[in-house]
Chains A and B, each alone.
Chain A
Amino acid sequence: MKAISIFQKGSHQWLCFGRDPEKVEKIIDTNQYMISSGEQSIILDPGGIELFSQMLTSVLRYTTLDNIKALFASHQDPDIISSLGLWDQCLKNSKLYSPWLWESFIRHFGMNNIQYEPIPDEGSEMTLGNVTLQFIPAHYLHSSGNMHVYDKEAKILMSGDVGAALDEITAPFFVEDFDAHIPKMEYFHRRWMPSNKAKEEWISRVRRLEIDIIAPQHGGIFKGEMVNTFLDWFERLDVGIAKNK
């Protein structure tokens, strides 16, 4: 599994893990993020059970198990958090931050040691080392209880499935050519995102934040001018296209 640093200022760092060449072919590639500040780290959307071993090995290159104070699951999907039962064996005194809506579902993945910290619908905050992380509501994008993570100091929004693309394993970590990137994400957004109303509310909320990087859970990361290009594109996109007949 590859790892890159997408932000660093002193001990405050964002790492992205992904583009795993050893991934089983039919499993979707995912980006996992780890934020560290001081002696504390949080793993955002730690991933599925199938890539746990690569993820654990990669994470330990940069932090210790004792320093992993929390996990965050943007929603309940298996590619986000089905590894929970294995992380639960490794982490002591750690918390899982996730939407309150999913607590009784996510516990099915196995959770004896980690403590569930339900995030209310309106979002909340947590302190990690010397930084404050905000949980930003993103309900119905695509899950009915969905949160994103905003780091005001790093100006990074971890956007879960918003901005996700089905990229090649060899693709660069950052989106370089937006037009070429559209076909990799258009159907995903139109089919997976159920509500134009939810999308518009989210865009309006996110436009009020100062963002240098939008970091999705699949595919390329949007940086600099790509951030607004993506928001403009998403604003124009008609989502929720599936028909029942």
Chain B
Amino acid sequence: MTSQSNDAADTFISVAHVASELFKAQSIAEELSITSKNARALAVRAGSTAAGFNEITRFIEGLSKLTIDAARSVNTIAISQTKIASDLFRAQGFIAKLDAVVYASKGTETDELKPIYDVVDERRQRLEGKIKVTLKELVDRLDETKMELRATQVVSVVSRVEASRAHEDFQNSLNSVADKVSSAGERINTHLERARRHLAHLRNR
């Protein structure tokens, strides 16, 4: 097995890991979406003292949607990238076999293999190029999502302020919403961090 083939195998494994981390982030974002809907109902019941909270729930819903959308698009990129990497793995494997044929034939009777070699090698180069492009796309999308998710901590703090203004019967429930938002934000970030780490060593090549 060549080191190039190992790199390709490493790529499809790492990218599949990225997709799985984003899938987990998506599940948390879906929970966050339910939290936001419950919070909206709570804010309505709490009446005018929780009017500010009602606005915040829209923002929470937006964050949840953002994560779900990001997870979906990263998943699409990741599946396509895993496919490209496994195709590359196969192309590299094929080239290694052809090299073995050329070596075994000691340079004779291999002329007709040359065009095949060239076609596959061209395909290999194209796949390598595609991997670089989609890898960059993947990293950019992750960084963008991470940046946008910084807002969750702000939302959590503002939620606590708004909760303190609401009628005391609702304060505990509204604080619990703030806790959930904060925890969801942290957990989503952890998955994004892990996804980023899976990509870091690929980008350093």
Contact = CB atoms under 8 A, between A and B. Distances in A.
Interface of A: 22, 49, 52-54, 56-57, 60-61, 65, 85-86, 89-90, 112
A12 B9 CA distance: 30
B87 to A, nearest CB: 9
Contact of A86 (B1, B17, B24, B86): B86
A210 to B, nearest CB: 34
Interface in B30-80: 75, 78-79
Nearest to A89: B9
Given A53-B12, A60-B20, A90-B9, 18 more contacts: A22-B79, A49-B86, A53-B16, A53-B82, A53-B83, A53-B85, A54-B82, A56-B12, A56-B16, A57-B16, A57-B78, A57-B79, A57-B82, A61-B19, A65-B13, A85-B93, A86-B9, A86-B12
Interface of B: 1, 6, 9, 12-13, 16-17, 19-20, 23-24, 75, 78-79, 82-83, 85-86, 89-90, 93
B89 A54 contact: no
Contacts of B1: 112
B79 A61 contact: no
A160 B78 CA distance: 30
Nearest to B21: A60
Nearest to A91: B13
B150 to A, nearest CB: 26
A22 B20 CA distance: 17
A59 B75 CA distance: 13
B24 A56 contact: no
Contact of A54 (B17, B20, B79, B93): B79
A61 B90 CA distance: 25
A61 B23 contact: yes
A52 B75 contact: no
A49 B1 CA distance: 18
A53 B79 contact: yes
A162 B172 CA distance: 56
B82 A56 contact: yes
Given A22-B79, A86-B89, A112-B1, A57 B20 contact: yes
A56 B16 CA distance: 6
A53 B12 CA distance: 8
Nearest to A113: B1
Contacts of B93: 85
